[in-house]
Amino acid sequence: MMAARPRTLKDARAVYSTNSELAWWVFMRISGFLLVFLVFAHVFANNILTNAGTIDYDYVASRLAQPSVRILDSFLLGFALLHGMNGLRYSIDDYIKRPGVRFWVKVIAYTVAVAIFVVGVMTLWTFTFDEMGAAIRDLTPAQ
Amino acid sequence: MYRGREGQWAFFLHRISGIALVLYLLLHVFDISLVMYGPNGPFNRFLIFYHQWPFRIGLILIIAGVVYHALNGLRIILLDFTPWAIKYQRVMWYGVLAVTTAVGIPVLIKILPEIFGGA
C-alpha cells in the first residue's frame, strides 16, 4: 500500500509501476483544468442566468435544441464522468479494505457509470424516445 | 479525526466534495434523461419534486462544492507542475477558501430569495 499519492510528475513516474496509473494521474490534471471552465459555464447558465426553481421540460428542450449546448454538454458528460469515476476509484481503494467487497463495489460503480454515460449521450443526441423510435424505423426496411 | 494542518483539511474537503459531486452527477444525468419520455412524461413531476426547498439548499451546497473543488484542483495543479507553488501551498489554500466565500455570497444573494420568496 502506497503511503501517499505522488506530488510531482517526476515522483509519479517513479512511483507508479504501470503506465496506465501515470496516464490517469496526468488525465486528472488535464480534465480537471478543462472541467473548471465547462462546469462553471454550465452552472452559470442554469443556476445564475436562470432561476433553477423554474426549470421544466420546455426549458431543457430549448437548451438541448442548441447544437452548442449539445457539444459542450457532451464534453462535460465525458470528462466529468471519467474524472469523477476515477476519483471515486481512488476513494474506494483508500477506504474499502476487504478485496472482495472492494471488487463488487467497483463492479457496481462502473456498471452504473457506463449506463449513465449511455443514457446521457442518448439524452443529448436523440432527445426523445419518439424521435429515436422514428430514426430506428427509418433505418429498418419496410415489412 | 483530522488533526493535521491546512494541507490535510484541503485534501479532506477535496475528497468529500469530489465524492458528493460524482454522486450528484450520476443522479443529475438520470433526472435530465427523463426528458426523453417527452413533454407529458414524468420529467415535470420529477422537477417539481426537486424544486422543494431542501433540494434547492442541497443544490447550493453542490455549487459550493463545485467552486471549492475547482479552485483547490487548480491549487493542486500548480503544486504539481511548478517549482515555486509548494512554498505558498498554505496561503493558496486560504486563498481558495476566500474566493469560494467571495463567489458564494453573491450566489446566495441570487438564489436564496428564489427559494424563500422576495425575488
pLDDT of residue A43: 97
Q: Which pLDDT tens digits describe chain B residue by residue (119 residues)?
A: 556 788 899 999 999 999 999 999 999 999 999 988 888 889 999 999 999 999 999 999 999 999 999 999 999 999 999 999 989 999 999 999 999 999 999 999 999 999 998 65
Determine which of A31, A49, A51 to mutate to test the interface with B (most B C-beta atoms within 10 Å).
Answer: A51
What CATH number was assigned to the domain covering residues B6-116?
1.20.1300
pLDDT of residue A95: 96
Count how many pairs of residues, chain A against chain B, have C-beta atoms within 8 Å.
110
Please, are residues A109 and A90 in contact by the beta-carbon 8 Å criterion? no
Contacts of B54 in chain A (CB under 8 A): none
pLDDT band at A1 (very low <50, low <70, confident <90, very high): very low
Contacts of B110 in chain A (CB under 8 A): 48
Determine which of A27, A30, A123, A127 to mutate to test the interface with B (most B C-beta atoms within 10 Å).
Answer: A123
Q: Is B29 on the interface with A (CB under 8 A)?
A: yes
pLDDT tens per residue, range A48-89 = 999 999 999 888 888 888 889 999 999 999 999 999 999 999
pLDDT band at A2 (very low <50, low <70, confident <90, very high): very low
pLDDT tens per residue, range A29-43 = 999 999 999 999 999
Please, are residues B23 and B15 in contact by the beta-carbon 8 Å criterion? no
pLDDT band at A102 (very low <50, low <70, confident <90, very high): very high
**How close is the nearest chain A Cα to the Cα of B106, in Å?**
10
Residue ranges per structural domain of chain A: 21-139
DSSP secondary structure letter of residue B40:
T
Please, are residues B27 and A112 in contact by the beta-carbon 8 Å criterion? no
Give the Å distances, CA to CA, from A15 to A18, A91, A94, B29, B72. Answer: 9, 18, 17, 36, 23
Using only C-alpha atoms, chain B has a radius of gyration, in whole angstroms, of 18
- ipTM of the complex as predicted: 0.93
Phi, psi of B41, rounded to the nearest 5 degrees: -80, -165
pLDDT tens per residue, range B44-72 = 999 999 999 999 999 999 999 999 999 99
pLDDT of residue A11: 78
Contacts of A127 in chain B (CB under 8 A): 35-36
Residue ranges per structural domain of chain B: 6-116
Q: Is B35 on the interface with A (CB under 8 A)?
A: yes
What CATH number was assigned to the domain covering residues A21-139?
1.20.1300.10
Contacts of A113 in chain B (CB under 8 A): 26
Across the interface, do B44 and A56 touch by the CB < 8 Å criterion?
yes
Q: Is B28 on the interface with A (CB under 8 A)?
A: no
Taking the CB of residue A104, how many other CB atoms lie within 10 A of it?
A: 12
